Chain A
Amino acid sequence: MAGVAISTPAPAPVADQRAPAPVVPLWIVGAVFWLAVLAVVLARAAGVAESETLATFGVIFTSIVVEALPFILLGAVAAAAIAVWVPASAFVRLNRLLAPVQVPAAAAAGFAMPVCECGSVPVARRLILRGLHPSAGVAFMLAAPILNPIVLASTWVAYGAAGRALEMTAVRAALGLLVAVLAGWLIGRRGEPLLRARQSDADELGHDHGEGGSSGRGFVEHVASDFVFMGRFVVLGAAVAALLQTVVPQEALSTVAGAPVIGALALMGLAMLLSLCSEADAFVAVSFTAFPLGSQLAFLVLGPVVDAKLAVLYGATFRRRFVLRVLAVAAPVALVGALVFDALW
Chain B
Amino acid sequence: MSFDTRTLRAIALLAWGSLFAWLWLSGESVRYLGPRTQWVVPVGAVGLMLAAAGYLRATRGRPWPRPSALEALGLTGLAIPILAAATLAHAQLGSLAASNKFSSRGIDPSALARLASRDASRIGFLQLNAAGRDDGLTRELGLSAGKSVRLTGFVSSVPTGRGPFELSRFYITCCVADAVPVGVHVDRGTVRHLRLGRDDWLDVTGVLTRGHREWIVRAVRIQHVDAPSDPYLSYTS
B residues 39-70 with Cβ under 8 Å of A? 40-41, 43-44, 47-48, 51-52, 54-55, 57-59, 65-70
Q: In whole angstroms, what is the CA distance A33 to B106 when docked? A: 45
| Contact between B180 and A287, CB atoms less than 8 A apart | yes
Residues of B within 8 A of A227 (CB): 13, 48, 51
Q: Is A245 an interface residue (CB 8 A)?
A: yes
Q: In whole angstroms, what is the CA distance A69 to B48 when docked? A: 10
- In the complex, the chain A residue whose C-beta lies closest to that of B103 is A251
Residues of B within 8 A of A62 (CB): 32, 81, 84-85, 88
| Contact between A69 and B173, CB atoms less than 8 A apart | no
A residues 144-182 with Cβ under 8 Å of B? 154, 157-159, 161-162
Task: Say which residue of B13, B87, B92, B114 sits within 8 Å of A224 (CB atoms).
Answer: B13
Q: Is A327 an interface residue (CB 8 A)?
A: no
Residues of A within 8 A of B99 (CB): 249, 251
B residues 70-123 with Cβ under 8 Å of A? 70-72, 74-81, 83-97, 99-103, 105-112, 114-115
| Contact between A49 and B88, CB atoms less than 8 A apart | yes
| Contact between A74 and B43, CB atoms less than 8 A apart | yes
Residues of B within 8 A of A29 (CB): 3, 8, 67, 72
| Contact between B175 and A250, CB atoms less than 8 A apart | no
Q: In whole angstroms, what is the CA distance A253 to B114 when docked? A: 24
Task: Say which residue of B33, B70, B93, B105 sits within 8 Å of A67 (CB atoms).
Answer: B33
Q: Is B37 an interface residue (CB 8 A)?
A: yes
A residues 40-82 with Cβ under 8 Å of B? 40, 43-44, 48-49, 52-56, 58-67, 69-71, 73-74, 77
Q: In whole angstroms, what is the CA distance A162 to B10 when docked? A: 48
| Contact between A287 and B12, CB atoms less than 8 A apart | no
| Contact between B33 and A66, CB atoms less than 8 A apart | yes
Task: Say which residue of A60, A224, A235, A289 sits within 8 Å of B177 (CB atoms).
Answer: A60
| Contact between A290 and B106, CB atoms less than 8 A apart | yes
Q: Would you give the shortest CB distance from A101 to chain B, in whole angstroms?
A: 35
Task: Say which residue of A21, A161, A216, A290 sits within 8 Å of B70 (CB atoms).
Answer: A21
Q: Is B150 an interface residue (CB 8 A)?
A: no
| Contact between B77 and A235, CB atoms less than 8 A apart | yes
Residues of B within 8 A of A23 (CB): 65-69
| Contact between B100 and A228, CB atoms less than 8 A apart | no
Q: In whole angstroms, what is the CA distance A228 to B88 when docked? A: 24
Residues of B within 8 A of A238 (CB): 81
Residues of A within 8 A of B89 (CB): 49
| Contact between B114 and A73, CB atoms less than 8 A apart | no
Q: Would you give the shortest CB distance from A276 to chain B, in whole angstroms?
A: 5
Q: In whole angstroms, what is the CA distance A73 to B78 when docked? A: 14
Q: Is B29 an interface residue (CB 8 A)?
A: yes
| Contact between A221 and B55, CB atoms less than 8 A apart | yes
Q: Is B203 an interface residue (CB 8 A)?
A: no
Residues of A within 8 A of B124 (CB): none
Which residues from chain B sit less than 8 Å from chain A, CB to CB?
3, 8-10, 12-13, 16, 19-20, 23, 29, 31-34, 36-37, 40-41, 43-44, 47-48, 51-52, 54-55, 57-59, 65-72, 74-81, 83-97, 99-103, 105-112, 114-115, 173-178, 180, 199, 235
18 other A-B residue contacts (CB within 8 Å) besides A73-B43, A224-B51, A289-B110: A20-B68, A24-B67, A40-B87, A44-B86, A48-B88, A56-B96, A56-B97, A58-B88, A63-B31, A66-B85, A220-B54, A221-B58, A221-B59, A247-B100, A276-B174, A277-B177, A280-B36, A280-B37
